[in-house]
Chains A and B, each alone.
Chain A
């Protein structure tokens, strides 16, 4: 049996959208897949050593379940984003969902390859030292080389 392969492009840097790439990558690796995740634009935040910029906001996110209905004008107030992030992290923890740090570490343990988009690293003036160890830096062609021969290819 040949090894199955999965490629994911992670483009979002919010707390909710950070989960699908890490959950799918770690699970696929557990199922024996060879996995690469290419992080570009805001997705790069998910490779930072410090994940404190990864937040969630009710603003512009009308489907987000809220404990009490909250008018958009209130969602805009200072501190709302931090509060929503704190509440979401608390909920994730209570429900036994792994933290992003934990899932990311599990991916790396399982040999999931993380690639940071060099173009966006330069665009946002990030330093290579901002990122966790064990990742690679590359461009679209690097991604295509692997993605061109995969069983599953996702854009998140």
Chain B
């Protein structure tokens, strides 16, 4: 999937992946896609909850080798 920016949130625990995601999205343009890579299993539900509450769209999420990969489209 095409993305404009990547956020490495590996090794970070709640709530840092969400806070960094928010910060990364802040200076992106509407419609841009952010890729987030996390190792925090709690971020699976949290990223969805973040999307639901902020209106940014979680395009996809997947897991590979203990890493969680998210693509978030900025509102």
Q: CB within 8 Å of B: which residues of A?
A: 23, 26-27, 30-32, 95-98, 106, 110
Report the bound CA distance from A108 to B14 in whole Å. Answer: 18
Are A27 and B12 within 8 A (Cβ)? no
Q: Which of B11, B18, B50 touches A96 (beta carbons < 8 Å)?
A: B11
Q: Which residues of B contact A27 (CB under 8 A)?
A: 15, 18-19
Q: Which residues of A contact B11 (CB under 8 A)?
A: 96
Q: Which of A26, A96, A97 touches B19 (beta carbons < 8 Å)?
A: A26
Q: Which residues of A contact B53 (CB under 8 A)?
A: 31-32
Are A26 and B54 within 8 A (Cβ)? no
Are A106 and B13 within 8 A (Cβ)? no
Report the bound CA distance from A141 to B22 in whole Å. Answer: 33
Give chain B nearest CB distance to A90 CB in angstroms.
14
Are B18 and A30 within 8 A (Cβ)? yes
Q: Which residues of B contact A32 (CB under 8 A)?
A: 53-54
- Chain A to chain B contacts (Cβ below 8 Å), 12 pairs: A26-B15, A27-B18, A27-B19, A30-B15, A31-B50, A32-B53, A95-B13, A96-B11, A97-B13, A98-B12, A98-B15, A110-B19
Are B16 and A30 within 8 A (Cβ)? no
Q: Which residues of A contact B19 (CB under 8 A)?
A: 26-27, 30, 106, 110
Given contacts A27-B15, A27-B18, 15 further A-B contacts (CB under 8 A): A23-B15, A26-B19, A30-B18, A30-B22, A31-B54, A32-B53, A96-B13, A96-B39, A96-B40, A97-B16, A98-B12, A98-B15, A98-B16, A106-B19, A110-B19
